[in-house]
């Protein structure tokens, strides 16, 4: 038997430590929580995506009375961006979540389905996406989506 350790590197920043463009994207994600449609969970999530061409797209979670029919903020924002610019890589993604009258103190972390979708975009354009997970106490930064989904199922897993 052999063991393998898989490491995820998370950088932890205060908001003030981040460069202006990252602060701006986080603020965009924070603004988006106001536009969430989350009457069932009352968990309001905002996501903002910056493309390599400088365009910014944002989204919020959209729930439905048939619960699985709803969609997370990350996928709303990412599909929106990819649908408008199908040939432009994504540079940065920021996520924020608001519930019980305040933003989460600890950084919000994307669900498994979102990780899978975000990874496909990263691999599709062969360009790392910087991920910013906002919390009011601190912000986690990851260099790419792959860090969030080790041992993933990907295009190459389908074989030939």
Could you say which of 41, 64, 84, 113 contacts ligand THU (CB under 6 A)?
41
Tell me how far apart the alpha carbons of residues 160 and 154 are, in angstroms, rounded to a whole number: 13
Could you say which of 72, 77, 90, 149 contacts ligand THU (CB under 6 A)?
72
Catalytic: which of 74, 106, 122, 126? 74
The DSSP string of 38-77 is: -TTT--EEEEEEEETTS-EEEEE-B--SSGGG-B-HHHHH
> Please, which residue, 41 or 53, has the CB nearer to ligand THU?
41
70 touching ligand THU, by CB under 6 A: yes
Helix (H) or strand (E) holding 103: strand 102-103
110 touching ligand THU, by CB under 6 A: yes
Return the structure tokens found at 124: 């599709």
Establish whether 16 is a catalytic residue. no
Number of H-type helices and E-type strands within the chain:
3, 7
Query: Closest approach of Cβ 1 to ligand THU, in Å?
Result: 35
Q: Measured on CA atoms in the order 73, 26, 129, 91, is the torsion positive or negative? A: positive
Query: Closest approach of Cβ 160 to ligand THU, in Å?
Result: 33
Site residues (vs ligand THU, CB under 6 A): 38, 41, 43, 45, 61, 63, 70, 72-74, 108, 110-111, 114
């Amino acid at each position: 038997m052999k063991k393998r350790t898989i490491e995820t590197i998370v950088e932890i920043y205060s908001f003030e430590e981040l460069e202006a463009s990252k602060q701006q994207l986080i603020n965009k994600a924070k603004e988006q929580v106001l536009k969430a449609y989350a009457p069932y969970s009352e968990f309001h999530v905002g996501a903002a995506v910056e493309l390599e061409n400088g365009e910014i797209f944002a989204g919020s979670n959209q729930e439905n009375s048939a619960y699985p029919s709803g969609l997370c903020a990350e996928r709303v924002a990412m599909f929106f961006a990819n649908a408008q610019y199908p040939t432009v890589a994504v540079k940065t993604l920021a996520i924020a979540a608001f519930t019980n009258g305040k933003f989460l103190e600890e950084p919000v972390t994307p669900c498994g389905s979102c990780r899978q979708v975000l990874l496909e975009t990263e691999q599709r354009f062969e360009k790392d996406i910087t991920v910013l997970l906002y919390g009011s106490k601190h912000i986690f930064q990851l260099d790419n989506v792959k860090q969030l989904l080790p041992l993933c199922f990907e295009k190459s897993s389908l074989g030939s």
